[in-house]
Structure 1
Amino acid sequence: MRAARYHARGDVRIEDVPTPDLRPGTVAIDVAWCGICGTDLHEFLEGPIFIPPPGSPHPVSGEEAPIVMGHEFSGTISAVGEGVDDLSVGDAVVVEPYIIRDDVDTSPGQPYQLSPDMNFIGLGGHGGGLSERVVVQRRWVHPVGDVPLDQAALIEPLSVGHHAFMRSGASAGDVALVGGAGPIGLLLSALLTAQGLTVIITEVSAARKAKAVETKVAEHVLDPTEGNVADRVRELTGGRGADVCFECTSVNAVLDTLIDAVRPGGVIVNVSIWGHPATLDMVKLVLKEIDLRGTIAYAGDHPATIELVRSGKVDLAPFITARIPLEDLVPQGFETLIHHNDTQVKILVHP
């Protein structure tokens, strides 16, 4: 079968690889759509980060580069392994793309995303969504019912937003400032709006500002090149500041803005993956008693996220801005998002 494999920084190739075998307790999925994630771009530009380099195989998957990529994907079940009796061939599904040791408890409420040696399908091994077929453990497969498969490919990044929201402790009526209107920022804003928060976005890209306005995921979209965002946030909140902020850019200037804009005693959640160290104004952090929280991926968030989409509270269709075949992954996918990221929000790949 055809698959996109990461060999080294700047070296992703479309190659023929063996079709994975069905095993007891697993599900085979014919991939319909796979999104290109910011993490994929970090790997392409700065990696390997999550991808295990040659000579250092991942302790759970046993794999090392070259690795099949893709972790934001949807598809249709083509076969179920022995012991799987609650899913059927033809079911539309998404995958919670974890690589975790078999003995880790993944029951509701467990922080399995923090377990030792955690990694992701499509980054640490076990195949990936940028291929024709993938075989995964049953516990990572989530039926999506009648959600269109192209939109279903965005449930994984939306689950990232859901987990960040849960980590924040925010609730309906709070004011949230989202730093960055890229795919995660926009999807997170849509989720926050659905949860009853007042959302403000800060973004410089004209196209992404327009998408935020078009999709009505925020009540206010602010451009830091046109004025002081923190001052404007205080104006909009009666001098108080934002209750909660979400950093979705891995850009230090955005983090600085959030520290300035959050109210005393407020919460900042870092959602983005940083490929470089950040600096932090510790004096402001201390004097304002800011609570700075990290968040990684999701843990038990997929069912609630899927229900938000199925119920119509979050509409994913407007965030899909391009669809390309696997062969065009690098020139029309990676290169576009790296050099012309203001022209796209989410590019989907059809393997």
Structure 2
Amino acid sequence: MKAARFHGRGDIRIDDISEPELRPGAVAIDIAWCGICGTDLHEYLEGPIFIPPTGHPHPLTHETEPVTMGHEFSGTITALGDGVTDLTVGENVVVEPYFVCGECAPCKAGNYNLCTKMGFIGLAGGGGGLSEKIVVERRWVHPIGEIPLDQAALIEPLSVGHHAFVRSGAKSGDIALVGGAGPIGLLLAAVLKAEGLTVIISEPSAARKAKAVSTGVADHVLDPTTDDIVARVLELTDGVGADVAFECSSINAVLTQLFDAVRPAGVIVNVSIWSQPATIDMQKLVLKEIDLRGTIAYCNDHPATITLVQEGKVNLAPFITAKIPLDRLIDEGFDTLINHKETAVKIIVHPDSTEEENS
């Protein structure tokens, strides 16, 4: 079968590899669609980061590069391993792409996303969504009902947004500021709107600002190149400041703005992955009693996230800006998102070249 595999920095190849074998307690899935994540781009440009390098196998998968990439994917069940009785062949599903040990203190406390050996399917090994087929442990497979398979590929990043919302402690009626309207920022905003918050987005890209407006995920869209973000947020909140803010850009200037724009005793949640250390003004954190929180991926968020989509509270279709075949992954996928990101939000990939479609 065809699979996009990471061989090293700047070296992702479409290889022909053996199909995965079904095992007890697992589920075989034909991949329908897989999204290209910002993490994939970081691996391509700067990796290996989460991908285990040669000579340093992942402690749970025991794999090293080359590994099959892709962790935002949907598909259809084709076979069930021994012991799997609560799913059916032909059922459409998404995957919560984890490897966890189940033995460390975070795992035992229920915080499996903080597992000390944690890895992601599509990064740490175990196959990936940028391929034709995958076999996944039953625990991580979530039925999606009637959600279209192309939209379902966005359930994984939407779950990232849902977990960030949960981590924030925000509630209906609160005012949220989202710094950065990339795919995660937009999908987080969709969750916040679905949960009854007023959403302010700060973003310089014209295409992404337009997407925030056209999808209705933001009540106010600001441009940091022309707006005084802090002044505008204070104006929109009667001088109080936002109740909660989310850093979704991995840009230090954005993080600094959030400290000024959030109200005293407010909450800032860092959602983005940083490729280099950030700096913060500790005096602002102390004197305003700001609560700065981290968030990584998701933990028990997929069911609630799927429900938001099934109930029509989040419409994922508008966030898909291109659909491409696997053999065009680099030139029409990675290159676009790296060098022309202002033109795209979410690009999804199908393993069959006949499925190419741009929207």
TM score, norm. by length of structure 2 = 0.96
Answering whether residue 345 of structure 2 is matched by residue 345 of structure 1, we say: yes
In the alignment, which residue of structure 2 is the partner of 1:70? 70
Give the Cα–Cα distance (whole angstroms) in 1 for the partners of residues 328 and 248 of structure 2: 27
Structure 1 stretches of 4+ with a deviation exceeding 3 A read 102-109
In the alignment, which residue of structure 1 is the partner of 2:257? 257
Residues 197-206 or 96-105, more deviating: 96-105
| Counterpart mapping for 1:308-347 below 5 A | 308-347=308-347
Give the Cα–Cα distance (whole angstroms) in 2 for the partners of residues 104 and 12 of structure 1: 33
2:107, 2:114 within 8 Å by CA — same for their partners in 1?
no
In the alignment, which residue of structure 2 is the partner of 1:47? 47
SS in 2 for 1:127: coil
Aligned alpha-carbon RMSD (Å): 1.3
Give the Cα–Cα distance (whole angstroms) in 1 for the partners of residues 331 and 230 of structure 2: 38
1:8, 1:65 within 8 Å by CA — same for their partners in 2?
yes
Instruction: Supply the AA of the counterpart residue of 2:59.
Output: P
1:105, 1:112 within 8 Å by CA — same for their partners in 2?
no
Deviations 1:121-145 (A, max 9, x none): 0000000000000000000000000
SS in 2 for 1:79: strand
In the alignment, which residue of structure 2 is the partner of 1:225? 225
Instruction: Supply the AA of the counterpart residue of 2:285.
Output: L
Deviations 1:150-197 (A, max 9, x none): 000000000000000000000000000001111000000011001000
SS in 1 for 2:259: helix
2:102, 2:108 within 8 Å by CA — same for their partners in 1?
no
1:34, 1:70 within 8 Å by CA — same for their partners in 2?
yes
What's the CA shift for 1:109? Answer: 7.8
What's the CA shift for 1:227? Answer: 2.1
In the alignment, which residue of structure 1 is the partner of 2:356? none
In the alignment, which residue of structure 2 is the partner of 1:210? 210
Instruction: Supply the AA of the counterpart residue of 1:328.
Output: R
In the alignment, which residue of structure 1 is the partner of 2:237? 237
Instruction: Supply the AA of the counterpart residue of 1:292.
Output: L
Give the Cα–Cα distance (whole angstroms) in 1 for the partners of residues 172 and 348 of structure 2: 32
1:190, 1:217 within 8 Å by CA — same for their partners in 2?
yes
Deviations 1:204-241 (A, max 9, x none): 00000000000010100000111210110000000000
Instruction: Supply the AA of the counterpart residue of 1:144.
Output: I
What's the CA shift for 1:115? Answer: 1.2
What's the CA shift for 1:104? Answer: 6.6
Give the Cα–Cα distance (whole angstroms) in 1 for the partners of residues 64 and 169 of structure 2: 37
In the alignment, which residue of structure 1 is the partner of 2:281? 281
Relative distance call for 1:108 and 1:240 in structure 2 (3 A) is: farther
In the alignment, which residue of structure 1 is the partner of 2:291? 291
TM score, norm. by length of structure 1 = 0.98
SS in 2 for 1:224: coil
Q: Sequence identity, in percent? A: 70
